[in-house]
Chain A
Amino acid sequence: MRPPGPLAITQHTLVSALGQGRDATFDAMQAGRTGLAPRGFETADIGAWLGVVDGIDTLDWRADLAAFDCRNNRLAELALRADGFGDAVRRAAQRWGAHRVGVFLGTSTAGILQTELAYRRRDATTGALPADLHYGETHNTYSVSRYVRAALGLGGPAHVVSTACSSSAKVYATAERMIRLGLVDAAVVGGVDSLCLTTLYGFKALELTATEICRPWDAQRAGLSLGEAAALALVERGSPAPMGWLLGAGESSDGHHMSSPHPEGAGAALAMRAALAQAGLQPQQVDYLNLHGTGTPGNDAAEDRAVGAVFGPSLPCSSTKGFTGHTLGAAGGVEASIALLALQHGLAPAGLNLQTQDPALHAHILREPLRKTLSVVASNSFGFGGSNACLVFGAAR
């Protein structure tokens, strides 16, 4: 076994309701400006605030990738175009060889919206789906990695991780192991999840969505606000000028329940401790923790206990889902990018929409952005079905 080591992050970007690219995201972080709005999506209005990405429908699309055309892959394409990310990956492919660059992305619903729409256009006699539905390139869980791999001309190992909200954090750990073992030299990691009817009506049926904007850690918190996003990062062996470092990744399962977290957050604590251990760090060496913080009564209570058990009560924390919404399969990647921006700029974002902190919750939630040099930032991502991940990032120096 080769022991884990730090992994360089050469480039990263994100597209969300806050806008396209790192600068747009950081501006919002600084200003405390949310991307959530009370609105519907497509033909659905579930009476909630949503984080919707603009500019998806007007995107030009490559003719040779026509079969891939769907909202989810368009969102991925926006991210490839942001901050020169796609070009950075092409350069890595030239440096290492296309077959030495992997693609490991997270998603929950991929391009299922295409199928949802297609079910409205079934053949009247046979019930068949229309010919223009390209299942493998859009709906299928693997489609977003397949798209990125094809669009960038990559030829290394690839897959999609779909473990609900921990998906695009877990892929960082996958890439670190593959690079460490010498199977690839670089990888595109992150995640893409777009709004669709399954998500909107599904979460509504579970009564997990709030009717007003989400309020993580608030005494009156009533549920999550859904969002969509694409967050991508290029991790690479021996990168000369990285933007930041992955120091440790911790993963665990709750083994408890399919849609409620373990009340004591035991699995979550395991993941945080494992990440710290891999990084060789003590809890007090972490400067800021980006919480999973969905704003549901259950998650925040369980996470608060876990964070308290691992870090104690004084670690500066916040959930940024009040900015972007809960972007599900992209959440891990979005919040990894936010962690890297915090390290780069020396600014930990505030927890938005917090009026009165729940007295039963003891984490130190930032009410204003924290401006100071940050050396180590951690990020939590805990998913449905009990899959937990924690990532620990170090500054570029």
Chain B
Amino acid sequence: MNSLSVDILGIGLLGPGLADWASAAPLLREPALWQAGATVVPPPQRLPATERRRAGAVVKASIVVADQAIAAAGLDPAALATVFTSSTGEPANCHALCEALATPERLVSPTRFTNSVHNAAGGYWHIAVQGRMPSTSLSAFDASFAAGLLEAAVQAVATGAPVLLVACDVPYPEPLHGKRPVSDVFGVALVLTPGTQLTLALQPETTATPCGHAGLDAVRSSIPAARALPLLQALAAGRAASIDIEGLPGLGLQLKIA
């Protein structure tokens, strides 16, 4: 068997011209209505004020979309295991650390170091919700969304309990941006539970399903977490669909919505 099935209980979204799932869903149904524009990351209310100020973009955006999905699903956030996936992590910290290390003094800020860990978003979330359920933070480069979705679905089916998936990427500052261009902040969150609505299947690599709209496709191909867009379009439209998501070299992820 190489497939498994889940239900989606809640969705969170934040991206260019996409302020949240509720307002974005009609735009994804009718992409002519969507307007490109820089992602606006609101301050996440769930973080205490000091953390809200200090947290980097990936932590903030992750918590914003996680909160949307949790609210939509009507769940107790402390009761959910979590899967955080990101291709970029928090690159601003990485840049600052590398810059400091290239100077003779090599003064590294301890807070910046702590916040540079790949699981910073997950750590902050569990602290904010006082949640002791398991959490993972993973990465698969351009396939980070597919890998995260697969891991979250596997956990949900294996444990029989709901799982919160958060996928989030943010741009790199220069000079790293030159090596790894990511166009803007994009975050998506899904609450998954064992079910029948969405079937995931591993398959040989095929061409990824496009958004079918030039602007949205530009977002999809320039931000790894935005590989989720065709899936979100189908969910917004509430229609049965088959979507191929970018996986790893030689491997694709096919999603079927019932």
Contacts and interface: CB of A to CB of B under 8 A. Distances in A.
In-complex A–B contact (CB below 8 Å): yes
Given A162-B117, A202-B110, A142 B140 contact: yes
Given A1-B194, A99-B204, A258 B123 contact: yes
Nearest to B4: A181
Interface string B109-124: 1100111111110111
A99 B201 CA distance: 13
A25 B248 CA distance: 34
A266 interface: yes
Contacts of B251: 99, 155-157
A325 interface: no
Contact of A253 (B101, B134, B157): B134
Given A142-B139, A256-B127, A384-B117, A198 B97 contact: yes
Nearest to B172: A135
B206 interface: no
Interface stretch (A60-68, A126-134, A334-342): A126-134
B15 interface: no
A116 B134 contact: no
B119 A1 contact: no
Contacts, number: 210
A164 B133 contact: no
B216 to A, nearest CB: 24
Of A253, A255, A256, A258, most buried by chain B (CB within 10 Å of CB) is A253
A122 B174 CA distance: 11
B244 to A, nearest CB: 15
Given A99-B204, A170-B136, A129 B179 contact: yes
B133 to A, nearest CB: 6
B250 A164 contact: no
Nearest to A182: B1
B108 A198 contact: yes
B98 interface: yes
B17 interface: no
Given A135-B179, A155-B250, A386-B126, A115 B98 contact: yes
Contacts of B122: 163, 253, 385, 387
A152 B257 CA distance: 34
A115 B157 CA distance: 39
Contacts of A119: 98-99, 101-102
Nearest to A127: B175
A128 B175 contact: yes
A161 interface: yes
Interface stretch (B65-73, B147-155, B231-239): B147-155
Contact of B132 (A108, A149, A177, A270): A270
A344 interface: no
Interface residues of A, number: 69
B161 to A, nearest CB: 9
Contacts of A160: 138-140
Contact of B248 (A149, A161, A180): A149
Of A174, A201, A255, most buried by chain B (CB within 10 Å of CB) is A255
Contacts of B117: 108, 162, 164, 384-385
A252 interface: yes
A162 B126 CA distance: 16
Given A158-B248, A201-B101, A253-B131, A146 B141 contact: yes
A22 B220 CA distance: 45
A2 interface: yes
A159 interface: yes
A177 B158 contact: yes
B137 A162 contact: yes
A115 B178 CA distance: 13
Contacts of B118: 108, 141, 162-163
Contacts of B202: 99, 156-157, 183
Interface of B: 1-2, 4, 78, 85, 87, 89, 94, 97-102, 106-110, 113-120, 122-124, 126-127, 129-141, 143-144, 147-148, 150-151, 154-155, 157-160, 174-176, 178-180, 194, 202, 204, 247-251
19 contacts: A2-B158, A44-B106, A99-B250, A112-B94, A122-B102, A142-B87, A142-B139, A146-B141, A159-B139, A159-B147, A162-B139, A163-B135, A181-B1, A181-B158, A182-B2, A201-B101, A270-B132, A384-B114, A386-B126
Given A140-B141, A385-B123, 13 more contacts: A99-B250, A115-B94, A129-B175, A157-B202, A162-B117, A181-B4, A181-B154, A202-B108, A253-B133, A384-B114, A384-B119, A386-B127, A387-B119
